[in-house]
Amino acid sequence: MNRKTEKKFILILQLTAVCAVIGIILLIITRWRSGPSAAFDLLAYVVSISALVMTTLQSISISRQVKITQEGAEKIEGASKKLEDLIASDKLMTRELKRDIKLDEENEEMVRNLYKEENDIEQKIESLITELKRIRK
C-alpha cells in the first residue's frame, strides 16, 4: 500500500473515532435517564464502532499483504529471468568449451604427427650419415 492510501485509511480511522465519541456523547445525553436500556444502547454502539475499526484495520493489513506478495512475486520473476539467462549462458559456454576441446585434440594430434615426422626425419638423416660414412671408407 502506498503512503496516500495508508493516509486515507488513517483519516477514516480518525473520523470514525471522532464520530464514535460524538455518538457516545449523544447517546449518554439522550438516554442517560432510561437506565439499563441506555447501557445496552451504549454497549451496542461501542461494539458496532469496534467492528468498524477492526474491519478498517483488516483492510489495511490485507492491502499491505497484497503489496508484499506482489513485491515477492516481482522478485521471484526477476530471479527466474536471471536463472533462465544463466542457463542460456551456461549452454553457450558449454558449446564453446566443447569446440575448444575439439580444437585442442586436433592440435594435439597435429603436434604428435609433427613430432613423429621429425623423429622419422632424424632417423633418415642418421641413416644417411651412416651410409655416407660407409661409402667414404
Q: Look at residue 36 in the predicted model and tell me its pLDDT.
A: 76
pTM for this predicted structure = 0.52
Q: CB-based burial of residue 16 (10 Å sphere; 0-12 exposed, 13-18 middle, 19+ buried)?
A: middle
Q: Which domain holds residue 129?
A: 3-136
What are 102-123's pLDDT values in tens digits?
999 999 999 988 888 888 888 8
Domain count, the chain: 1
φ, ψ dihedrals at 109, nearest 5°: -60, -40
What are 45-97's pLDDT values in tens digits?
889 888 988 888 898 888 889 989 999 999 999 999 999 999 999 999 999 99
Report whether pLDDT(124) > 80. yes
Contact yes or no for 111/119 (Cβ under 8 A): no
Pairwise CA distance, residues 87 & 15, whole Å: 55
